Structure 1
Amino acid sequence: MEISVHDIFRARHHIEHFVDRTPLAPSVPLSNLIGAQVRFKLENYQRTGSFKPRGAINKMRMLSEEERKRGVIAASAGNHGLAVAYAAGLVGTSAQVVVPERTPKTKVAGIQRLGAELVFHGTNYDEAEEYAYRLAAENGRSFIHAYEDQHTIAGHGTIGLEILLDWPEADVIVVPAGGGGLILGIAILAKSVRPDIRIIGVQSHASPPWYYSFRAGRMVEVTYRESLAEGLHGGIGQKIFPLVLHYVDDFVLVGEEEIAEAMCWMARQHHQRVEGSGAVGVAALRNGRIPDIAGKNVVCLISGGNVDDERLLGLLEAQERVEKTADRGLSITPPS
């Protein structure tokens, strides 16, 4: 697979009227906390609530008339499905989206509202993807991959272009890492313009394939667990693996409690609604997971904000209870 800066500029031309150029907003609280200049790239402000339309629209613009007549199909943990449904409406094709059974309700409702046919299958993204491929073979729809496609990746690379146009002095870009298409697109653009810029991916301990595979220099099997960052849950792209090794500088891990705290922190400090997958970069920065950033210019990508009301409210209430307990000077021993 080959993806060039030219591909990313062409993607920008294809999608610029159908996506928003999202803000790059300073975070004074986080900057003060870690001793760096931090700005958030707020893709939770994007249409459909995440970065995903950038890649989906660019891919759909490449479909032939015959492919559009047959329709498209995608597997998704939620946000890619929203983007495919949105893009399908723009290009005049029908969409079928396969999601795991426990996909957040806000994402399910959005996919249905945008007119896609929703299919529930499996307990995780990999199971949904396997079933979607089977359906594609049966019904002739074009499969729109969430991350292992050069047009999708080029679309995501437009985020890197916007970042460096708005802040050419950026030294580090911190990116949530799921399948790898988002971080690769950003890294290709950023490294081509600024070879010295650092690109750091963030995963959860519950879904750490890039972290361990990056260190091994080969794709390795890992154990997956349930996570607040369900959008990052699942395997990584075999075709893009060598490119990620070449362009990305490192991957770090964060825990579930750190993700929950980051989601609450964003709500309280910045009044931002951020899903678990979008908050992992904040979690990494707040907990010192990324070395050598003191005095640096750091971009933290907030990749999405599609979190269920009950989940975010529950996390905020739980944190408030913990704080009240601490204020009373009580000690609580966690269950073993």
Structure 2
Amino acid sequence: MKYRYTSAWRMQGGWSFPSQPTTRELVNHAGRRLVLTTDPADYLRVFDRRMLVANHMLGGGPYRNASGWDNAAIARELSRVAVERRDKVASAWFVVVVVDGVLDGDIGNPDGAVVIDDDVFGWELFDAEGLKKAHERDVDALMTVLSTSFEWTPRFEQLGESVVGLLDDGRQVQSLSATAFGDLSVSRALPNDDQLDIQARACALLDDTKLAAVARLSRRMVAGSSDPLLRFLHAWCALEILIGKTAGLVNRAALPAGIPALQVLVEVERQDPDHNRRSIRQFLLATAWLFPVWSRDEVETQLKIFDSVRKLRNRLFHGENVDERTLPTVPLFDLLRRYLSATLTHSS
């Protein structure tokens, strides 16, 4: 489905950026949750938020698509700016616009296979080794853009690996491509620590002290792989902060009453009128907001895992002797990864 992007930028009122936006400004103001939709109005709004920033990298004025440029032409211009100025932000947006072109049909062939064509993409402008050196300190930003911006399908993996391959190689690229493209067969083969590490990198870029704490604890969990107790404690603390923060953002009255997690929450409150199980209530409220489509069975399954981990944490904190080899680090990790990923998707 194709849409025209001609005048919506004029309704944005313009943004005020310094001459060189920082990664944090790009993430916070341009909008990191760039989920493509089939609604033309929503798609147009999201596309314009990106193009305003991309156009800023090109020197301002009405963005080029308003003058009839297609995505391939914009991508080629961004690639030129990226190389000539060694501009890391323009390079990140080059990736986004190229992928947008593939999604929109301006770039690539009709059957969905990604075609790397020098004439279209302007790859001849890239000196792979030079670009890698120019961006060696900004791999995180590109990882964030790629891993949190779109709902990916496996067919874009070739394009993503080709772009990011210019900037980094080896284990980090493998981790990025598996997480960013959401291919379950690939993601399941990726070590859990790598998945969480990428999410923590994205989390750390947001201007939020609690999420920054979650990022630090998550990274420490990954780094402490040789100590199961430390891994468990870091993961629990990260999850507890994340759940508390998320629950605090939720306007419960605005949530549809039919959400399964909300129904379970009502039952828990009825059984616990004194509110002794505060973390359980926070968990269910966060679940209702982050996963409104979960079935009751799924909610109860995740609640059972969370409650069992919570009880074990209480035993540890009360001085009981717990065999470290039996710590439920894997299910705890999966909870943290799922809820952190959902929180990043909801943050913009």
More strand by share: 1
Q: TM-score, normalised by structure 2?
A: 0.28
Q: TM-score, normalised by structure 1?
A: 0.28
More helix by share: 2
